[in-house]
A and B are shown apart, each in its own frame.
Chain A
Amino acid sequence: MGTDALRAGWIWDGSEGNPLCSEMGNKQTIFTPQQLDAYQDCTFFTRKEILRLYQRYRDLAPQLVPLDYTSQPDVKLPYLLIGSMPELKDNPFRQRIAEVFSEDGEGNMSLDDFLDMFSVLSEMAPRELKAYYAFKIYDFNNDDFICKSDLEKTLNKLTRNELTEDEVRMVCEKVMDEADLDNDGRLSLEDFQQMIVRAPEFLR
């Protein structure tokens, strides 16, 4: 689940000549220094990256997002805007990702949620944290268990409904067989973690 999309080409364009970085880039007025420090402590990002993320967030809806966050305004961007970001646009699970990280569970994200989401998705986040959130993402009905219907939904999103009913059923049964350690017909967080921790390619 490692998207260090921040480091990719997109986030670097447009960082010049924006209202944030004047002169040395130290005199930004969006956040108070305490806010920035707090964000640095709560996410895996550096000061610069946080400011860039803010800029990306603002670019989604310049008229909605204020330039001054010192008063902690309560601004939420609707899911449609979030889901149109290039990093998420092609991801089959983008809706679930937005839902998991948003406060209201509908995908409408404030700046805090936005930062949180990218912090977890970045490559600096540890495996266990990613596993925890991955579990939540794949749990479509939010019942803290991945049941058969969740698996079916996951598979269909992953293959864009290209597999037949039979095949889908078979795969879900196999997955349940493999990963369900306590034999209750659904995957709990522990089952999921047990299974994920051995995966060779999980961090990618």
Chain B
Amino acid sequence: MVVGVLTPEELEKLKEAVDERKKLITTLRGKPWPMMKKLQTLKESQEFVEKYEGALGRGRGRKLYAYKVMMQKKWMKFLRDFENFKTACIPWEMKIKDIESHFGSSVASYFIFLRWMYGINMILFGLTFGLVMVPEALMGRPYGSIPRKTVPRADETSAMDFAILWDFGGFAKYSVLFYGYYNNQRTVGWLKFRMPLSYFLIGVGTVAYSYMVVIRKMARNANEQGGGDDTSFNFSWKMFTSWDYLIGNPETADNKFASITTSFKEAIVEEQENRKDDNIHLTRFLRVLANFLVLCCLAGSGYLIFFVVRRSQKFALAGLENYGWWERNEVNMVMSLLGMFCPMLFDVISSLENYHPRIALQWQLGRIFALFLGNLYTFIIALMDEINLKRKEEEVIIANMTLWQASLYNGTLGENNTTPVITVDPADVPRGPCWETMVGQEFVRLIISDTMTTYVTLLIGDFLRAFIVRFLNYCWCWDLEYGFPSYSEFDVSGNVLGLIFNQGMICDERAAPARLHVPAVLGSHVLQRPPGAVFKASGSNNFYMAMLLVILFLSTLPAIYTIVSIPPSFDCGPFSGKSRMFDVIQETLENDFPAWFGMVFSYVSNPGLVLPFLLLMILAIYYLHSISKTYKQSNLDLKKKLQTQNEENKKKNKRAALKAATELEEARNTLQEQQSQSNNNASNRGDRRLNDSNGTTNQIENGHTAKNHCRPPYPHRCMDRPSVPRGPGMPGYLPGLPHRPAP
């Protein structure tokens, strides 16, 4: 069809039609049609578009239009290919899908979480490595040039021992990994790279980045969730959404069936309120007892750690060489072991409490949280003690330094101005204790020992257990696989918690000056059973994100405290010689930026300005919080209104339909009566009338039934003569009746 000259309106309409078709083509895959229909529609739409697209382009800029269309097509193709490429690039996607099909989606979500954290750690490691370690290694002064970079003479012989290296002493201690190695030169190398500034900023930056990433993820999760925990459709959701369509493994399927059945049974029991607390006082007493026991446990573990750290200090003072492996690693071992056995203890104690499983899980997680937190903080406090000790040592050494220097120049102290430069081998210079490196070392040791214990328990606890169960099962009296000890379950929430705490410790250690990023534990959970009871502590992932946030915050707190209040060591690290670590910022402002900048900054950092600003932020937070509350409330109200409106509408419809039905019945009855009456009359008056009225009644009936196909049942106001079937708008037609158009 040749399209001649079109009026602008027609052109417009045509363009609209073409656009509509194009939109249809793009959304075709989301339409709930069978494939045949989709293919057909696609063909038609494409033909339409092709036919008229050329026509549209006629006249002005046809070539341009055609070109634009072609570019669009190419762009869509490119986008599609890029999406494919991106998905192919995601690491471990295959493995995770495999796990998902074998074990279900909650286990897979743990691994997805793990992967995400791994990604973040990699980014942070990249930053640190690239901007701190590499410049120092390449452009800073090499090993052995200044005292802080050299192994002291006394330790030289043992510096390469494996045991010492494993403990991060010896050569490991005097390397770019630890704080102490860094020189406090303001700029290094030909690039004039500001080393101390970079160190400080990267430290602050990594923490800030972690926060930002976690909060962004939380916000995104919150958006997706929308309503949050709603219990209004409990049973419906259980019925329609509990099956995990990703399961492709018969064992997993069996487990899933079992768990679904259990979940239903429990829900039923709850619903029937058969759980009569026969003795509420007993339950209460037991719960109080359980909490008391838990508190005792927590206090006990805290004290144990404190005690052990003190002991290790004593060992350190007496010289570590005198003690065996256990004494040296006592602190780390104790912390890791506590972290392993206390949760099991809590589990046992919680059986006293007799809570609903979801609530019990929340309590359990809360207690493990408190345990880890308590341990971490006790550890940090003990470290603080050590730091203070080291600082006192430092003062002593500073005093000694002057004496030692004097001893070097023995005899030549007379001349004040020209003291000859005596070269001393850096290894021989007496060293300050350098508490920053010590803290870094402690944390690194802790993390490594934690990882080791996890692996070992995994091997012994799970692997060996599975091994024994699988092989002894053949020659054992009861079924080992289903009874005791069976395979161990994959405790998703416990593992996630462990991951989160690992991250917290890494953050701590990063903020404190060690530069080692140990990626989180990638355990091999080969022979573990998927969790039987899938109870999540909360509906969304945000629970774990929130915990991560809290841990981050709590672990950066001590680090910030040290940065702000404790002066750095005098002879090691990039901040040596300054009175506070953040002085480096001041220095940079004074020297590297123009004068007016410094002035502006000093005005801005005036407490008179900062305090009102803080106040403003607090007020803004409060305001936003109250607004979001009101929005949520109005949302709920609207939902309720919508629901009641729907109910009203449908009730009305139902009532009307019912009414129509009853009236139809009535009409039929009266018609029957009429019929019988007129039959009687006819039989009295003779055949002719009979035939007539029969005919008419037949007609009426036929008309009635015929009309019934095309119109909704409406009452026949039957009178003596056959009435015209009434439609809407005619007198006698009941208003409000459903009026369906003829098919």
Contact = CB atoms under 8 A, between A and B. Distances in A.
Interface of A: 1-5, 7-10, 12, 38, 40-44, 46, 48, 86-87, 89-93, 101, 103, 112-113, 115-116, 119, 121, 125-126, 128-129, 132-134, 138, 151, 154-155, 158-160, 162-163, 167, 170-171, 174-175, 178-179, 181-184, 192, 195-196, 198-202, 204
Contact of A182 (B100, B226, B646): B646
24 contacts: A10-B248, A40-B80, A41-B28, A42-B42, A46-B84, A91-B243, A91-B247, A101-B34, A113-B34, A116-B34, A121-B245, A159-B264, A163-B261, A170-B271, A170-B272, A174-B235, A178-B236, A181-B647, A182-B653, A183-B647, A183-B651, A183-B654, A184-B654, A199-B240
Given A42-B39, A129-B32, A8 B647 contact: no
Contacts of A91: 243, 245, 247, 253
A199 B39 contact: no
Interface stretch (B91-99, B211-219, B293-301, B623-631): B91-99
A37 to B, nearest CB: 9
A196 B248 contact: no
Contact of A7 (B80, B93, B260): B93
A204 B109 CA distance: 11
Contacts of B237: 195, 199-201
Contacts of A196: 240-241
A42 B234 contact: no
B275 interface: no
Interface of B: 25, 28-32, 34-36, 38-39, 42-43, 80, 84, 93-94, 97-98, 100-101, 105, 225-227, 229-230, 232-237, 239-250, 252-253, 257, 260-261, 264-265, 267-268, 271-272, 539-540, 643, 646-647, 649-651, 653-654
Given A195-B233, A196-B241, A133 B32 contact: yes
A192 B353 CA distance: 38
Contacts of B247: 90-91
A199 B97 contact: no
A201 B248 CA distance: 19
B265 to A, nearest CB: 7
Contacts of B100: 8
Nearest to A155: B239
A9 B94 contact: yes
A151 to B, nearest CB: 7
A163 B253 CA distance: 17
Contact of B94 (A2, A12, A48): A12
Contact of A5 (B29, B248, B260, B267): B248
B98 A8 contact: yes
Given A90-B250, A112-B35, A158-B242, A44 B93 contact: no
Contacts of B227: 198
A175 B235 contact: yes
B540 A200 contact: yes
Given A4-B97, A10-B248, 19 more contacts: A7-B97, A9-B94, A38-B42, A40-B80, A41-B28, A42-B28, A46-B80, A48-B84, A87-B101, A92-B257, A121-B245, A163-B261, A167-B265, A170-B268, A171-B267, A174-B234, A179-B233, A200-B539, A204-B244
B236 A195 contact: yes
Nearest to B31: A129
B646 A8 contact: no
Contact of B105 (A43, A154, A204): A204
Nearest to A93: B243
Given A170-B268, A179-B233, A87 B248 contact: yes
A136 B406 CA distance: 93
Contacts of A90: 247-250, 252-253
A154 B94 CA distance: 32
Interchain residue pairs A-B with the least CB separation, the first 5: A182-B650, A90-B253, A112-B35, A174-B235, A116-B35
B80 A41 contact: no
A112 B36 contact: yes
B243 A167 contact: no
B80 A132 contact: no
Given A42-B28, A184-B650, A9 B98 contact: yes
A199 B241 contact: yes
A153 to B, nearest CB: 11
A1 B252 CA distance: 17
A167 B240 contact: no
Given A90-B253, A182-B650, A204-B246, A158 B29 contact: no
Interface centre among A8, A103, A178 (most CB of B within 10 A): A8
Contacts of B31: 129
B647 A132 contact: no
Contacts of B232: 178, 198
Contacts of B646: 181-182
A182 B648 CA distance: 8
B248 A86 contact: yes
A17 B654 CA distance: 63
Contacts of A201: 237, 241
Contacts of A183: 647, 650-651, 654
A158 B101 contact: no
A101 B37 CA distance: 13
A159 B257 contact: yes
Contacts of B236: 175, 178-179, 195
Contacts of B233: 178-179, 195, 198-199
B35 A113 contact: yes
